[in-house]
Amino acid sequence: MSEVRTPAQIEADIVRRREQLAETLDEIGVRMHPKTIIGDARARVASHVDHTAGRAVVAVNRLVTDVKGSLHDEAGAPRFERIVPVALLAVGVVGLLALSARRKRG
């Protein structure tokens, strides 16, 4: 059988539920406020950018490690047959950039 509740118990339940409802409505109001929505969106974008930047750093580090490894043999001696072409390519690129910058100024 169900327990008979007194009017005071019923009134206390009503007051408690009103307070819970007020808290819920306040929370919804804060969540739906434009500043909150913008702040949450900014946080998500910043998190995504941080994650993407972190992945890029890891990829670059891996690439640098691989290139360094390919320029030395197992004993750690430099592999000139690989270093010389890379150095010539780098000098050529720098030369082209310098020439291009000079043409833009002149």
pLDDT in tens, 62-87: 988 888 888 888 888 888 888 898 88
pLDDT in tens, 7-63: 999 999 999 999 999 999 999 999 899 999 999 999 999 999 999 999 999 999 998
Number of other CB atoms surrounding residue 82 within 10 Å: 14
CA distances from 98 to 54, 85, 87, 88, 93 (A): 32, 20, 16, 15, 9
CA distances from 60 to 63, 64, 86 (A): 5, 6, 18
pLDDT at 96: 94
Average pLDDT of span 89-96: 93
H or E segment to which residue 32 belongs = helix 7-32
